[in-house]
């Protein structure tokens, strides 16, 4: 027991000090602790079908490759079919490409209809697609684009695909960001219509929304036997970080995780047996606090109000 207690204490210390825990230092230390869970078994996803959104670069590309290596048939849900073809050629297993813009709810509905008509039963969805617009940008439906891509699109796509997911002990993973710790749930201004627009703030607000809606989504999709997770990849070197946060990338570059390290916990959540308990925020194969010292955490009433807005905006029954 003593080594495991010490390992948990070290893990917690890494988490609370942020920089070591979120960087490749934390990943390297944790994977050598006795509390590190075993890797998914080779071939554990043979015959399984997994959707990965935003699979043409960064964490999405790494996730698609890792899942394919475990035997999954990976369904690449992407905006650019040509980029998807390049990724598909590198995967060790079969894949199918579906064109979809997660920020456009009409495109989401079209993609879901195609998957329902022609796709197989699904065992998992990884919502990895992301964006950080340099200026306030609206989706075709008039919503702030970060919120549309990170929250509205994933909720709608999952809801529409429930017939393909139900009864299969399916798993849904939303990829979040550590930036959400710095923001509260934007209940009063979900579309960021007030004040001066700041891209990192918009991004973090949408990611906080993902985290705070976990209890609601978990309850909503539980009758279909779906476990829902939010996964924090730590600080990873991806094209999105380089393009959107060049100063952060330059300062933290030497200690940023690579894409494979950032995607590790997503792959583990999809492949681990037995299925991990749903409903948590995960990083480095362990559940993490959704807020530190109560800062920026949401109340149950705030979650319900935010969910009502999301349901109305996405066009689903709340």
- Model confidence over 133-161: pLDDT tens digits? 999 999 999 999 999 999 999 999 999 99
- Pull the structure tokens for residue 100: 């979809």
For the cut 90, the answer to whether the pLDDT of residue 240 exceeds it is: no
List, in sequence order, every residue forming a beta bridge with 230; answer none if it has no partner. 174, 281
Domain identity same for 249 and 147: yes
- Each residue of 51-65: pLDDT tens digit? 999 999 999 999 999
Domain identity same for 293 and 266: yes
Domain identity same for 20 and 169: no
- Is it true that the peptide bond before 89 is cis, omega within 30 degrees of 0? no
Average pLDDT over residues 226-247: 86
Domain identity same for 201 and 56: yes
Question: Above pLDDT 70, what percent of the chain?
Answer: 100
Domain identity same for 169 and 307: yes
Domain identity same for 28 and 106: no
Domain identity same for 13 and 92: no
Domain identity same for 55 and 149: yes
Domain membership of residue 29 as a residue range: 1-36
Domain identity same for 80 and 203: yes
Domain identity same for 233 and 310: yes
CATH number at residue 181: 3.40.50.720
* 1 pLDDT tier (thresholds 50, 70, 90): low
Q: Is 203 a catalytic residue?
A: yes
Say how far apart CA 90 and CA 145 lie, in whole Å.
30
Q: One of 192, 203, 229, 292 is an active-site residue; which one?
A: 203
Predicted pLDDT of residue 272 = 98
User: What's the structural domain count of the chain?
Assistant: 2
* 270 pLDDT tier (thresholds 50, 70, 90): very high
Residue 144, classified by CB atoms within 10 Å of its CB into exposed (0-12), middle (13-18) or buried (19+), is: buried
Of 315, 318, 314, 317, nearest to 150 by C-alpha is 314
Domain identity same for 123 and 268: yes
Domain identity same for 132 and 264: yes
- Each residue of 72-112: pLDDT tens digit? 999 999 999 999 999 999 999 999 999 999 999 999 999 99
């Amino acid at each position: 027991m003593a080594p495991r207690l010490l390992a948990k204490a070290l893990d917690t210390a890494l988490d609370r000090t942020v920089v070591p825990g979120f960087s490749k230092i934390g990943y390297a230390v944790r994977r050598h602790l006795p509390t590190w869970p075993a890797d998914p078994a080779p071939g554990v996803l043979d015959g399984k079908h997994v959707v990965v959104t935003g699979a043409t670069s960064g964490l999405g590309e790494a996730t698609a490759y890792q899942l394919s290596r475990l035997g999954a048939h990976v369904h690449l849900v992407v905006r650019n079919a040509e980029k998807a073809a390049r990724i598909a050629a590198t995967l060790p297993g079969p894949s199918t490409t579906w064109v979809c813009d997660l920020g456009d709810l009409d495109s989401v509905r079209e993609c879901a209809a195609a998957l329902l008509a022609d796709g197989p039963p699904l065992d998992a969805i990884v919502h990895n697609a992301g964006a950080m617009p340099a200026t306030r940008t609206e989706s075709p439906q008039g919503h702030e684009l970060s919120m549309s891509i990170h929250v509205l699109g994933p909720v709608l796509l999952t809801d529409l695909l429930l017939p393909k997911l139900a009864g299969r002990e399916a798993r849904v993973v939303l990829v979040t960001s550590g930036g959400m710790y710095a923001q509260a749930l934007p209940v009063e201004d979900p579309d960021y219509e007030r004040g001066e627009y700041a891209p990192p703030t918009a991004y973090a607000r949408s990611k906080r929304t993902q985290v705070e809606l976990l209890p609601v989504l978990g309850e909503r999709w539980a009758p279909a036997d779906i476990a829902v997770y939010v996964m924090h990849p730590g600080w990873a070197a991806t094209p999105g970080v380089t393009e959107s946060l060049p100063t952060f990338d330059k300062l933290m570059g030497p200690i940023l995780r690579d894409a494979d390290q950032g995607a590790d916990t997503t792959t583990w959540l999809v492949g681990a047996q037995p299925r991990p308990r749903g409903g948590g925020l995960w990083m480095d194969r362990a559940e993490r606090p959704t807020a530190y010292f109560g800062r920026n955490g949401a109340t149950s009433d705030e979650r319900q109000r935010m969910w009502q807005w999301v349901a109305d905006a996405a066009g689903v029954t709340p």
